[in-house]
Amino acid sequence: MAAPARDQTARVVRSESDQPAELRPASSPSEKEALRQQPSDKPPSGRRTIDIPGVDKAKAAAAAAGEKLKANPKRRLIAGVGAVVALALIYFGLHYLFVGRYIVTTDDAYVRANNSLLGAKVPGNISRILVGDNKRVGAGNVILQIDDGDYKLALDSAQAKVATQEATIERIGRQAVAQESAVEQQKSQIASAQAATKRTELDFARQQELNSKGFASKATYDQSLAGRDQAVASVQGAQAAYDAAVAQLDVIKAQKAEAEGTLQELRASLAKAVRDLSFTTIRAPVDGIFSNRLVNVGDYVQAGQRLGNVVPIDEVFIDANFKETQVARLKPGQRVSITVDAISGRTISGIVDSLAPAAGSVFTLLPPDNATGNFTKIVQRLPVRIRVPMSVARENLLRAGMSVVVSVNTKGDPEGVDPVEAR
């Protein structure tokens, strides 16, 4: 009797423990309160629930996947990375389709400027250096001074020679005027002699007629003949003197012309002396930065010797060396994006100005000749000139020789864009 009673008691206890907590009878007031506060999964009274097998399975699968992800953080990380990679591929694909395939890029590009070379035109010692290294100068500013003592003396000598020659020409001119008066005087002497000759010829004719009739003496006739011959000789002498005076006048005029030619030579020498003196002052040819000074005070320089450079950094440009396989799509007027290695985080806009007529290898000192020997094809590069906006150039951030990366947008029609006006 006792054993069956224990088995029955165990079954009752086990069956109650297998029931849900809300179905088990509350054994104490605290358990009753807990069961009252516990939410019930059963639908409220008066409502009917409809079970859909497919939806329940999907919810169950999603819940199961979520439980797996929550249970495995590694899978969750891999799924996130995969989503990011997929989005990145979509972005870059669309970017290449609409933008990237039109961009031509090269990093073989450098900032350039038309450097002005300063050279000495006359020899001499450097007496002063008025501008420091890497300082801004304006066109016409004095940079260097060569000792000008000898050139001032040469200028004074040339001026004195010109003054002397001008005085000589004035003297010769006055001689010419005096000689012209002498010519006129000789001309009057000729007229006087001719009048005297006419008078003596008339007197001789009368005496000759009287002598033929026997009314005049032989002595009077001979005297009249001698007077006529003397008058004829006087005319000839006056004519010779006149010719000599005219010839002397021509000589004086020739001397004056020669002196005037010499004066022109002396004036040219004077002008050269003035220029040589001006060349002792070395001035900046353009606005820019004075740099690369190669001389010091006291150095003796020869004509043509290099003294320094002036770099016009307000007018910098870019030379980009594109591959020959890239230039087919490049045209003047296309927009360019420029990034400078020395200026991080900034993109500068530019414009294609022109394309070189030949590859860079053509302009080298010894151009390559592939007519003989083995041949290895190498892709050549062609320089492309790119202009930057004047406002950017005047910021003086771009310096000649800087490395840049340029990207040309070949999409669209570049016509109507003037590279000069775009500056």
pLDDT digits (tens, 9 = 90+) for 69-93: 555 677 778 877 888 888 888 777 7
Which residue in this structure is represented by tokens 């360019």? 336
Does residue 216 share a domain with residue 70? no
Rounded Cα–Cα distance for residues 273 and 97 (Å): 71
Q: What is the pLDDT of residues 126-140, one digit of tens each?
A: 999 999 999 999 999
Asked whether residue 55 is domain-assigned, the answer is no
Q: Which of 263, 279, 295 is the last residue of a domain?
A: 279
Does residue 243 share a domain with residue 325? no
Does residue 386 share a domain with residue 268? no
Does residue 291 share a domain with residue 258? no
Pairing of strands 317-323, 142-146: unpaired
Read off the CATH number of the domain in which 226 is found.
1.10.287.620
Does residue 159 share a domain with residue 129? no
More confident residue, 254 or 47: 254
Does residue 209 share a domain with residue 87? no
> Which pLDDT score, from 0 to 100, does residue 223 have?
73
Does residue 253 share a domain with residue 155? yes
Q: What is the pLDDT of residues 181-233, one digit of tens each?
A: 888 887 887 777 777 777 777 777 776 766 676 666 667 766 777 777 777 78
More confident residue, 270 or 199: 270
- Buried b vs exposed e over 323-337: b needs ≥16 C-beta within 10 Å? eeebbeebebebbbe
Asked whether residue 137 is domain-assigned, the answer is yes
Does residue 274 share a domain with residue 175? yes
Asked whether residue 195 is domain-assigned, the answer is yes
> Which pLDDT score, from 0 to 100, does residue 71 have?
57
Does residue 212 share a domain with residue 171? yes
Q: Which amino acid is at 8?
A: Q
Does residue 162 share a domain with residue 131? no
Does residue 261 share a domain with residue 199? yes
Count of the separate structural domains present in the chain: 4
Do 409 and 100 contact (CB within 8 A), yes or no? no
Asked whether residue 94 is domain-assigned, the answer is yes
Q: What is the pLDDT of residues 355-393, one digit of tens each?
A: 988 887 887 777 777 777 777 788 889 999 999 988 888
More confident residue, 236 or 281: 281
> Which pLDDT score, from 0 to 100, does residue 376 have?
79
Read off the CATH number of the domain in which 109 is found.
2.40.30.170
Task: For residue 11, give both structure tokens.
Answer: 């079954």
Asked whether residue 411 is domain-assigned, the answer is yes
Asked whether residue 53 is domain-assigned, the answer is no
Phi and psi, residue 340, nearest 5°:
-105, 135
- Mean pLDDT, rounded, of the chain: 79
- Indicate the pTM of the whole model: 0.61
Rounded Cα–Cα distance for residues 133 and 135 (Å): 6
- With cut-offs at 50, 70 and 90, classify the pLDDT of residue 96: low
Read off the CATH number of the domain in which 291 is found.
2.40.50.100
Does residue 182 share a domain with residue 105? no
Rounded Cα–Cα distance for residues 197 and 42 (Å): 174
- Of all residues in the chain, the percent with pLDDT exceeding 90 is 35
Does residue 419 have a pLDDT over 50?
no
Mean pLDDT value across residues 318-329: 90
Asked whether residue 75 is domain-assigned, the answer is yes
> Which pLDDT score, from 0 to 100, does residue 321 have?
93
Asked whether residue 235 is domain-assigned, the answer is yes
Task: Identify the domain containing residue 415 by its residue range.
Answer: 99-114+312-368+376-422
- With cut-offs at 50, 70 and 90, classify the pLDDT of residue 100: low
Query: Using H for helix, E for strand and C for coil, what is the string for 161-188?
Result: HHHHHHHHHHHHHHHHHHHHHHHHHHHH
